Structure 1
Protein backbone atom coordinates (compact mmCIF):
# COMPACT_ATOMS: atom_id res chain seq x y z
CA UNK A 1 0.00 0.00 0.00
CA UNK A 2 1.36 3.40 -0.97
CA UNK A 3 1.16 5.92 1.87
CA UNK A 4 -0.90 9.05 1.24
CA UNK A 5 0.18 12.36 2.64
CA UNK A 6 -2.56 13.87 4.79
CA UNK A 7 -2.46 17.62 5.03
CA UNK A 8 -4.16 19.34 7.93
CA UNK A 9 -6.03 22.58 7.39
CA UNK A 10 -4.51 25.79 8.62
CA UNK A 11 -6.32 27.96 11.11
CA UNK A 12 -7.35 30.61 8.61
CA UNK A 13 -8.75 27.92 6.28
CA UNK A 14 -10.96 26.56 9.05
CA UNK A 15 -12.18 30.04 9.98
CA UNK A 16 -12.76 30.93 6.32
CA UNK A 17 -14.74 27.74 5.73
CA UNK A 18 -16.90 28.31 8.81
CA UNK A 19 -17.73 31.91 7.87
CA UNK A 20 -18.46 30.87 4.30
CA UNK A 21 -20.86 28.18 5.56
CA UNK A 22 -22.73 30.86 7.49
CA UNK A 23 -22.89 32.97 4.34
CA UNK A 24 -24.17 30.07 2.23
CA UNK A 25 -26.82 29.19 4.84
CA UNK A 26 -28.00 32.80 4.95
CA UNK A 27 -27.00 33.27 8.58
CA UNK A 28 -24.98 36.25 7.39
CA UNK A 29 -26.84 38.39 4.84
CA UNK A 30 -25.65 40.87 2.18
CA UNK A 31 -24.71 44.20 3.67
CA UNK A 32 -24.42 42.85 7.22
CA UNK A 33 -21.42 44.04 9.21
CA UNK A 34 -19.18 41.41 10.76
CA UNK A 35 -17.80 41.70 14.29
CA UNK A 36 -14.42 43.38 14.70
CA UNK A 37 -11.15 41.50 14.21
CA UNK A 38 -10.69 41.42 17.98
CA UNK A 39 -14.13 39.90 18.61
CA UNK A 40 -13.77 37.35 15.82
CA UNK A 41 -10.32 36.37 17.08
CA UNK A 42 -11.73 35.90 20.58
CA UNK A 43 -14.74 33.94 19.32
CA UNK A 44 -12.59 31.54 17.27
CA UNK A 45 -9.75 31.39 19.78
CA UNK A 46 -7.12 32.44 17.25
CA UNK A 47 -4.88 35.43 16.60
CA UNK A 48 -5.93 38.49 14.64
CA UNK A 49 -3.54 37.57 11.82
CA UNK A 50 -5.48 34.32 11.30
CA UNK A 51 -8.73 36.28 11.06
CA UNK A 52 -7.14 38.71 8.60
CA UNK A 53 -6.06 35.84 6.34
CA UNK A 54 -9.53 34.29 6.45
CA UNK A 55 -11.19 37.62 5.64
CA UNK A 56 -8.67 38.29 2.87
CA UNK A 57 -9.51 34.94 1.27
CA UNK A 58 -13.26 35.55 1.49
CA UNK A 59 -12.83 39.06 0.11
CA UNK A 60 -10.85 37.66 -2.82
CA UNK A 61 -13.66 35.17 -3.48
CA UNK A 62 -16.21 37.97 -3.51
CA UNK A 63 -18.01 37.08 -0.27
CA UNK A 64 -16.87 40.03 1.85
CA UNK A 65 -16.26 43.74 1.42
CA UNK A 66 -13.57 45.35 3.58
CA UNK A 67 -13.89 49.09 4.07
CA UNK A 68 -10.90 50.92 5.51
CA UNK A 69 -11.89 52.38 8.83
CA UNK A 70 -15.43 51.07 8.40
CA UNK A 71 -15.15 47.38 9.13
CA UNK A 72 -15.94 44.22 7.20
CA UNK A 73 -19.31 43.62 5.54
CA UNK A 74 -20.99 40.81 3.67
CA UNK A 75 -20.82 41.68 -0.04
CA UNK A 76 -24.04 43.11 -1.44
CA UNK A 77 -23.79 40.78 -4.42
CA UNK A 78 -22.67 37.29 -3.44
CA UNK A 79 -20.84 34.95 -5.82
CA UNK A 80 -22.75 32.06 -7.35
CA UNK A 81 -22.56 28.58 -5.91
CA UNK A 82 -20.29 27.47 -8.76
CA UNK A 83 -17.70 30.08 -7.84
CA UNK A 84 -14.93 28.03 -6.30
CA UNK A 85 -11.88 30.04 -7.19
CA UNK A 86 -10.46 33.13 -5.55
CA UNK A 87 -12.60 35.28 -7.78
CA UNK A 88 -14.85 34.26 -10.64
CA UNK A 89 -12.14 33.67 -13.21
CA UNK A 90 -14.70 33.49 -16.00
CA UNK A 91 -15.23 37.21 -15.49
CA UNK A 92 -12.15 38.96 -16.80
CA UNK A 93 -9.18 36.85 -15.74
CA UNK A 94 -7.98 36.59 -19.32
CA UNK A 95 -8.11 40.39 -19.55
CA UNK A 96 -6.06 40.64 -16.35
CA UNK A 97 -3.49 38.32 -17.90
CA UNK A 98 -3.34 40.47 -21.02
CA UNK A 99 -2.70 43.57 -18.92
CA UNK A 100 0.07 41.74 -17.06
CA UNK A 101 1.71 40.80 -20.35
CA UNK A 102 1.63 44.45 -21.43
CA UNK A 103 2.97 45.56 -18.07
CA UNK A 104 5.94 43.17 -18.22
CA UNK A 105 6.95 44.56 -21.62
CA UNK A 106 6.29 48.20 -20.80
CA UNK A 107 7.45 48.44 -17.19
CA UNK A 108 10.78 46.69 -17.62
CA UNK A 109 11.69 49.40 -20.08
CA UNK A 110 10.38 52.24 -17.93
CA UNK A 111 12.30 50.96 -14.89
CA UNK A 112 15.49 50.68 -16.94
CA UNK A 113 15.15 54.25 -18.21
CA UNK A 114 14.12 55.54 -14.78
CA UNK A 115 17.37 54.19 -13.32
CA UNK A 116 19.35 56.09 -15.94
CA UNK A 117 17.38 59.35 -15.99
CA UNK A 118 15.77 59.77 -12.57
CA UNK A 119 16.25 63.02 -10.72
CA UNK A 120 16.17 63.79 -7.01
CA UNK A 121 12.53 64.86 -7.28
CA UNK A 122 11.68 61.46 -8.77
CA UNK A 123 13.43 59.67 -5.90
CA UNK A 124 11.63 61.85 -3.37
CA UNK A 125 8.30 60.97 -4.98
CA UNK A 126 9.06 57.25 -4.91
CA UNK A 127 10.14 57.44 -1.27
CA UNK A 128 6.92 59.24 -0.38
CA UNK A 129 4.88 56.51 -2.05
CA UNK A 130 6.86 53.79 -0.26
CA UNK A 131 6.08 55.57 3.02
CA UNK A 132 2.38 55.46 2.07
CA UNK A 133 2.69 51.73 1.35
CA UNK A 134 4.29 51.17 4.74
CA UNK A 135 1.61 53.22 6.47
CA UNK A 136 -1.16 51.29 4.67
CA UNK A 137 0.49 48.05 5.78
CA UNK A 138 0.72 49.22 9.38
CA UNK A 139 -2.90 50.39 9.41
CA UNK A 140 -4.16 47.32 7.52
CA UNK A 141 -5.49 49.63 4.80
CA UNK A 142 -5.87 47.41 1.72
CA UNK A 143 -7.37 50.14 -0.45
CA UNK A 144 -4.64 52.59 0.48
CA UNK A 145 -2.04 49.96 -0.33
CA UNK A 146 -3.58 49.39 -3.76
CA UNK A 147 -3.60 53.12 -4.54
CA UNK A 148 0.03 53.46 -3.46
CA UNK A 149 0.96 50.41 -5.54
CA UNK A 150 -0.53 52.00 -8.66
CA UNK A 151 1.10 55.37 -7.88
CA UNK A 152 4.50 53.69 -7.49
CA UNK A 153 4.41 52.17 -10.96
CA UNK A 154 3.15 55.41 -12.48
CA UNK A 155 5.94 57.34 -10.73
CA UNK A 156 8.53 55.03 -12.28
CA UNK A 157 7.11 55.82 -15.72
CA UNK A 158 7.32 59.53 -14.94
CA UNK A 159 10.92 59.10 -13.79
CA UNK A 160 11.84 57.53 -17.13
CA UNK A 161 11.89 61.01 -18.67
CA UNK A 162 10.11 59.69 -21.74
CA UNK A 163 6.76 61.46 -22.32
CA UNK A 164 5.51 58.70 -24.63
CA UNK A 165 6.11 55.97 -22.05
CA UNK A 166 4.48 58.14 -19.41
CA UNK A 167 1.44 58.66 -21.65
CA UNK A 168 1.22 54.92 -22.33
CA UNK A 169 1.12 54.21 -18.59
CA UNK A 170 -1.52 56.91 -18.11
CA UNK A 171 -3.60 55.45 -20.94
CA UNK A 172 -3.90 52.11 -19.15
CA UNK A 173 -4.08 53.53 -15.62
CA UNK A 174 -7.76 52.65 -15.27
CA UNK A 175 -7.09 49.06 -16.31
CA UNK A 176 -4.13 48.98 -13.94
CA UNK A 177 -6.28 50.23 -11.09
CA UNK A 178 -8.88 47.55 -11.74
CA UNK A 179 -6.35 44.72 -11.95
CA UNK A 180 -3.86 45.64 -9.22
CA UNK A 181 -6.39 45.11 -6.43
CA UNK A 182 -7.47 41.72 -7.75
CA UNK A 183 -3.95 40.47 -8.38
CA UNK A 184 -2.74 41.68 -4.96
CA UNK A 185 -5.49 39.68 -3.26
CA UNK A 186 -4.76 36.66 -5.42
CA UNK A 187 -1.02 36.86 -4.73
CA UNK A 188 -1.47 37.22 -0.97
CA UNK A 189 -3.93 34.34 -0.80
CA UNK A 190 -2.30 31.77 -3.07
CA UNK A 191 1.25 32.45 -1.96
CA UNK A 192 0.25 33.03 1.66
CA UNK A 193 2.62 35.95 1.41
CA UNK A 194 2.85 38.73 3.91
CA UNK A 195 2.08 42.21 2.66
CA UNK A 196 5.48 43.19 4.02
CA UNK A 197 7.13 41.02 1.36
CA UNK A 198 5.39 42.97 -1.37
CA UNK A 199 6.60 46.19 0.24
CA UNK A 200 10.17 44.87 0.24
CA UNK A 201 9.93 44.05 -3.46
CA UNK A 202 8.96 47.64 -4.20
CA UNK A 203 11.82 48.88 -2.03
CA UNK A 204 14.19 46.69 -4.02
CA UNK A 205 12.99 48.26 -7.26
CA UNK A 206 13.47 51.71 -5.75
CA UNK A 207 17.01 50.90 -4.59
CA UNK A 208 17.99 49.79 -8.09
CA UNK A 209 16.63 53.02 -9.55
CA UNK A 210 18.32 55.08 -6.83
CA UNK A 211 21.73 53.50 -7.53
CA UNK A 212 21.23 53.88 -11.29
CA UNK A 213 21.47 50.13 -11.81
CA UNK A 214 19.28 49.94 -14.90
CA UNK A 215 19.75 46.21 -15.46
CA UNK A 216 18.78 45.34 -11.89
CA UNK A 217 15.80 47.72 -11.95
CA UNK A 218 14.45 46.05 -15.08
CA UNK A 219 15.11 42.59 -13.66
CA UNK A 220 13.45 43.29 -10.31
CA UNK A 221 10.28 44.74 -11.74
CA UNK A 222 10.13 41.85 -14.22
CA UNK A 223 10.44 39.28 -11.42
CA UNK A 224 7.82 41.14 -9.41
CA UNK A 225 5.30 40.99 -12.25
CA UNK A 226 6.21 37.40 -13.10
CA UNK A 227 5.19 36.31 -9.61
CA UNK A 228 1.77 37.83 -10.10
CA UNK A 229 1.46 36.21 -13.51
CA UNK A 230 2.42 32.83 -12.07
CA UNK A 231 -0.29 32.75 -9.42
CA UNK A 232 -2.89 33.98 -11.90
CA UNK A 233 -1.97 31.21 -14.34
CA UNK A 234 -2.24 28.70 -11.51
CA UNK A 235 -5.70 29.98 -10.65
CA UNK A 236 -6.76 29.75 -14.30
CA UNK A 237 -5.51 26.17 -14.47
CA UNK A 238 -7.40 25.29 -11.29
CA UNK A 239 -10.55 26.83 -12.77
CA UNK A 240 -10.05 24.84 -15.98
CA UNK A 241 -9.49 21.59 -14.06
CA UNK A 242 -12.58 22.26 -11.99
CA UNK A 243 -14.72 22.83 -15.05
CA UNK A 244 -13.39 19.62 -16.60
CA UNK A 245 -14.25 17.71 -13.44
CA UNK A 246 -17.79 19.12 -13.42
CA UNK A 247 -18.22 18.16 -17.06
CA UNK A 248 -17.24 14.55 -16.28
CA UNK A 249 -19.69 14.42 -13.38
CA UNK A 250 -22.58 15.63 -15.55
CA UNK A 251 -21.70 13.44 -18.56
Structure 2
Protein backbone atom coordinates (compact mmCIF):
# COMPACT_ATOMS: atom_id res chain seq x y z
CA UNK A 1 0.00 0.00 0.00
CA UNK A 2 1.36 3.40 -0.96
CA UNK A 3 2.14 5.71 1.94
CA UNK A 4 0.02 8.83 2.42
CA UNK A 5 2.48 11.73 2.57
CA UNK A 6 -0.15 14.37 3.33
CA UNK A 7 1.37 17.84 3.36
CA UNK A 8 4.98 16.85 3.99
CA UNK A 9 7.67 19.08 2.41
CA UNK A 10 8.77 17.93 -1.05
CA UNK A 11 12.28 17.03 0.10
CA UNK A 12 10.92 14.85 2.90
CA UNK A 13 8.55 13.09 0.50
CA UNK A 14 11.42 12.38 -1.91
CA UNK A 15 13.61 11.09 0.92
CA UNK A 16 10.86 8.73 2.06
CA UNK A 17 10.16 7.48 -1.46
CA UNK A 18 13.80 6.61 -2.08
CA UNK A 19 14.05 4.91 1.32
CA UNK A 20 11.01 2.81 0.35
CA UNK A 21 12.67 1.88 -2.95
CA UNK A 22 15.73 0.72 -1.01
CA UNK A 23 13.73 -1.19 1.63
CA UNK A 24 11.53 -2.87 -1.00
CA UNK A 25 14.54 -4.04 -3.01
CA UNK A 26 13.79 -1.88 -6.03
CA UNK A 27 17.24 -0.43 -5.33
CA UNK A 28 19.06 -3.46 -3.81
CA UNK A 29 22.30 -3.31 -1.76
CA UNK A 30 25.32 -2.12 -3.76
CA UNK A 31 23.08 -1.06 -6.68
CA UNK A 32 23.98 2.17 -8.44
CA UNK A 33 21.20 4.76 -8.39
CA UNK A 34 20.13 6.43 -11.64
CA UNK A 35 21.70 9.79 -12.42
CA UNK A 36 20.21 12.79 -10.64
CA UNK A 37 18.66 13.96 -13.92
CA UNK A 38 16.91 10.64 -14.51
CA UNK A 39 15.92 10.11 -10.88
CA UNK A 40 14.52 13.64 -10.50
CA UNK A 41 12.43 13.12 -13.65
CA UNK A 42 11.29 9.70 -12.42
CA UNK A 43 10.17 11.16 -9.08
CA UNK A 44 8.79 14.36 -10.60
CA UNK A 45 10.87 16.73 -8.44
CA UNK A 46 13.58 19.33 -8.92
CA UNK A 47 17.22 18.35 -8.77
CA UNK A 48 17.65 20.65 -5.76
CA UNK A 49 15.02 18.70 -3.78
CA UNK A 50 16.57 15.42 -4.90
CA UNK A 51 20.08 16.51 -3.87
CA UNK A 52 18.86 17.42 -0.38
CA UNK A 53 17.10 14.06 -0.08
CA UNK A 54 20.23 12.20 -1.16
CA UNK A 55 22.32 14.11 1.39
CA UNK A 56 19.93 13.03 4.15
CA UNK A 57 19.98 9.40 3.01
CA UNK A 58 23.77 9.43 2.86
CA UNK A 59 24.00 10.88 6.36
CA UNK A 60 21.77 8.03 7.57
CA UNK A 61 24.08 5.53 5.87
CA UNK A 62 21.52 4.24 3.37
CA UNK A 63 23.51 5.34 0.32
CA UNK A 64 27.10 6.28 -0.48
CA UNK A 65 28.39 8.67 -3.15
CA UNK A 66 31.74 7.67 -4.63
CA UNK A 67 33.75 10.27 -6.60
CA UNK A 68 33.66 9.72 -10.37
CA UNK A 69 31.54 6.58 -9.89
CA UNK A 70 28.11 7.72 -8.75
CA UNK A 71 25.73 7.04 -5.87
CA UNK A 72 25.20 3.51 -4.58
CA UNK A 73 22.96 1.79 -2.05
CA UNK A 74 25.05 0.81 0.95
CA UNK A 75 25.92 -2.88 1.01
CA UNK A 76 28.81 -5.29 1.40
CA UNK A 77 30.86 -3.62 -1.35
CA UNK A 78 29.66 -0.09 -0.65
CA UNK A 79 29.93 0.54 3.07
CA UNK A 80 28.11 3.30 4.94
CA UNK A 81 30.33 6.26 5.88
CA UNK A 82 32.15 6.27 9.19
CA UNK A 83 30.75 8.32 12.05
CA UNK A 84 31.00 12.04 11.41
CA UNK A 85 32.44 11.55 7.93
CA UNK A 86 29.45 13.24 6.30
CA UNK A 87 29.28 16.18 8.70
CA UNK A 88 27.93 18.94 6.44
CA UNK A 89 28.59 21.89 8.75
CA UNK A 90 32.31 21.36 9.31
CA UNK A 91 33.21 24.66 7.64
CA UNK A 92 31.32 26.49 10.40
CA UNK A 93 31.24 24.18 13.43
CA UNK A 94 32.98 20.96 14.37
CA UNK A 95 30.88 18.03 15.54
CA UNK A 96 32.43 18.47 19.00
CA UNK A 97 31.29 22.11 19.14
CA UNK A 98 27.75 21.10 18.27
CA UNK A 99 27.54 18.45 20.98
CA UNK A 100 29.09 20.85 23.50
CA UNK A 101 26.34 23.33 22.61
CA UNK A 102 23.68 20.66 22.91
CA UNK A 103 24.89 19.86 26.41
CA UNK A 104 24.76 23.51 27.40
CA UNK A 105 21.26 24.30 26.15
CA UNK A 106 19.32 21.02 26.04
CA UNK A 107 20.13 19.96 29.60
CA UNK A 108 19.07 23.35 30.97
CA UNK A 109 15.94 23.43 28.81
CA UNK A 110 15.08 19.97 30.09
CA UNK A 111 15.49 21.10 33.70
CA UNK A 112 13.34 24.19 33.18
CA UNK A 113 10.68 22.29 31.22
CA UNK A 114 9.97 19.75 33.97
CA UNK A 115 7.23 21.72 35.80
CA UNK A 116 5.41 22.38 32.51
CA UNK A 117 5.51 18.74 31.36
CA UNK A 118 1.98 17.62 32.19
CA UNK A 119 -1.07 16.26 30.40
CA UNK A 120 -0.97 16.57 26.62
CA UNK A 121 2.71 17.49 26.58
CA UNK A 122 3.67 14.31 28.40
CA UNK A 123 1.42 12.25 26.12
CA UNK A 124 3.10 13.75 23.04
CA UNK A 125 6.55 13.10 24.49
CA UNK A 126 5.64 9.50 25.32
CA UNK A 127 4.32 9.04 21.78
CA UNK A 128 7.62 10.31 20.33
CA UNK A 129 9.61 7.94 22.57
CA UNK A 130 7.40 5.03 21.50
CA UNK A 131 7.69 5.87 17.79
CA UNK A 132 11.47 6.25 18.18
CA UNK A 133 11.66 2.64 19.35
CA UNK A 134 9.13 1.11 16.94
CA UNK A 135 10.62 2.81 13.87
CA UNK A 136 14.10 1.52 14.74
CA UNK A 137 12.84 -2.04 15.16
CA UNK A 138 11.00 -1.75 11.82
CA UNK A 139 14.08 -0.43 10.02
CA UNK A 140 12.41 2.88 9.16
CA UNK A 141 15.37 5.19 9.76
CA UNK A 142 13.59 8.33 8.59
CA UNK A 143 10.67 7.85 10.98
CA UNK A 144 13.17 6.93 13.69
CA UNK A 145 15.11 10.19 13.30
CA UNK A 146 11.91 12.24 12.98
CA UNK A 147 10.68 10.79 16.28
CA UNK A 148 14.02 11.63 17.89
CA UNK A 149 13.80 15.20 16.62
CA UNK A 150 10.20 15.45 17.86
CA UNK A 151 11.17 14.13 21.31
CA UNK A 152 13.88 16.76 21.80
CA UNK A 153 11.82 19.55 20.20
CA UNK A 154 8.83 18.90 22.47
CA UNK A 155 11.02 19.29 25.52
CA UNK A 156 12.41 22.53 24.08
CA UNK A 157 8.89 23.81 23.34
CA UNK A 158 7.90 23.24 26.97
CA UNK A 159 10.83 25.29 28.27
CA UNK A 160 9.47 28.56 29.75
CA UNK A 161 12.62 30.51 28.80
CA UNK A 162 11.74 32.26 25.54
CA UNK A 163 15.33 33.18 24.71
CA UNK A 164 16.46 29.56 24.98
CA UNK A 165 13.55 28.48 22.78
CA UNK A 166 14.50 31.10 20.17
CA UNK A 167 18.15 30.01 20.21
CA UNK A 168 17.18 26.34 19.91
CA UNK A 169 15.05 27.10 16.84
CA UNK A 170 17.81 29.22 15.28
CA UNK A 171 20.22 26.26 15.19
CA UNK A 172 17.59 23.67 14.28
CA UNK A 173 19.26 22.57 11.03
CA UNK A 174 22.58 21.88 12.73
CA UNK A 175 20.90 20.04 15.62
CA UNK A 176 18.93 17.93 13.13
CA UNK A 177 22.12 16.87 11.37
CA UNK A 178 23.80 15.99 14.68
CA UNK A 179 20.93 13.60 15.41
CA UNK A 180 21.20 11.92 11.98
CA UNK A 181 24.98 11.49 11.85
CA UNK A 182 25.35 8.73 14.50
CA UNK A 183 22.78 6.39 12.89
CA UNK A 184 25.04 4.41 10.48
CA UNK A 185 27.49 3.61 13.28
CA UNK A 186 25.03 2.84 16.06
CA UNK A 187 25.31 -0.78 17.19
CA UNK A 188 22.16 -2.60 18.29
CA UNK A 189 23.30 -2.55 21.93
CA UNK A 190 23.89 1.22 21.79
CA UNK A 191 20.47 1.81 20.22
CA UNK A 192 18.83 -0.27 22.95
CA UNK A 193 20.62 1.97 25.45
CA UNK A 194 19.49 5.10 23.59
CA UNK A 195 15.88 3.90 23.68
CA UNK A 196 16.23 3.34 27.44
CA UNK A 197 17.74 6.83 27.83
CA UNK A 198 14.73 8.42 26.14
CA UNK A 199 12.42 6.59 28.53
CA UNK A 200 14.57 7.66 31.51
CA UNK A 201 14.29 11.32 30.45
CA UNK A 202 10.54 10.87 30.03
CA UNK A 203 10.20 9.27 33.48
CA UNK A 204 12.11 12.10 35.17
CA UNK A 205 9.96 14.71 33.44
CA UNK A 206 6.81 12.81 34.34
CA UNK A 207 7.95 12.91 37.97
CA UNK A 208 8.53 16.66 37.67
CA UNK A 209 12.18 16.20 38.65
CA UNK A 210 14.06 18.79 36.61
CA UNK A 211 17.48 17.97 38.04
CA UNK A 212 17.11 14.26 37.25
CA UNK A 213 15.76 15.02 33.77
CA UNK A 214 18.76 17.27 33.05
CA UNK A 215 21.16 14.57 34.29
CA UNK A 216 19.51 11.94 32.09
CA UNK A 217 19.67 14.30 29.10
CA UNK A 218 23.37 14.96 29.77
CA UNK A 219 24.11 11.23 29.85
CA UNK A 220 22.14 10.67 26.64
CA UNK A 221 23.84 13.45 24.67
CA UNK A 222 27.29 12.46 25.96
CA UNK A 223 26.76 8.82 24.99
CA UNK A 224 25.57 9.82 21.51
CA UNK A 225 28.54 12.17 21.08
CA UNK A 226 30.94 9.29 21.70
CA UNK A 227 29.61 7.46 18.61
CA UNK A 228 30.71 10.27 16.28
CA UNK A 229 34.02 10.90 18.02
CA UNK A 230 33.07 14.22 19.61
CA UNK A 231 35.64 15.02 22.30
CA UNK A 232 33.61 16.39 25.18
CA UNK A 233 35.26 17.75 28.32
CA UNK A 234 33.60 16.07 31.28
Under TM normalisation by the shorter chain, which class is it? 0.5 to 0.7
Regions of 4+ moved over 6 Å: none
Offset of residue 88 of structure 1: 2.7
Unaligned runs of 5+ residues in structure 1 are 1-26, 33-58, 66-72, 236-251
Q: Is the contact made by 1:109 and 1:218 (CA closer than 8 Å) also made in structure 2?
A: yes
**Distance of 1:174 and 1:84 partners within structure 2:** 20
**Could you tell me the TM-score, scaled by structure 1's length?**
0.57
The answer as to 2:202 corresponding to 1:206 is yes
Unaligned runs of 5+ residues in structure 2 are 1-28, 35-57, 65-71
For residue 169 of structure 1, what is the aligned residue in structure 2? 168
Q: Is the contact made by 1:136 and 1:142 (CA closer than 8 Å) also made in structure 2?
A: yes
Q: Is the contact made by 1:111 and 1:214 (CA closer than 8 Å) also made in structure 2?
A: yes
For residue 31 of structure 1, what is the aligned residue in structure 2? 33
**Distance of 1:183 and 1:170 partners within structure 2:** 21
For residue 233 of structure 1, give the secondary structure of its aligned residue in structure 2: coil
Listed as ranges, the matches of 1:73-222 within 5 Å are: 74=73, 85-86=82-83, 88=85, 92=89, 95-186=94-185, 188-189=186-187, 193-222=189-218
* Greater per-residue helix proportion: 1
Q: Is the contact made by 1:123 and 1:210 (CA closer than 8 Å) also made in structure 2?
A: yes
* Root-mean-square deviation over aligned CA pairs: 3.3
**Could you tell me the TM-score, scaled by structure 2's length?**
0.61
Offset of residue 108 of structure 1: 0.7
**Distance of 2:221 and 2:87 partners within structure 1:** 22
Listed as ranges, the matches of 1:203-242 within 5 Å are: 203-233=199-229
Q: Could you list the per-position Cα deviations for residues 31-53 of structure 1 after superposition, in whole angstroms to 9, with x for gaps in the alignment?
A: 18xxxxxxxxxxxxxxxxxxxxx
Offset of residue 29 of structure 1: 4.8
**Distance of 2:87 and 2:124 partners within structure 1:** 37
> Relative to structure 1, is the Cα distance of residues 29 and 98 closer, same or farther in structure 2, using a 3 angstrom cutoff?
same
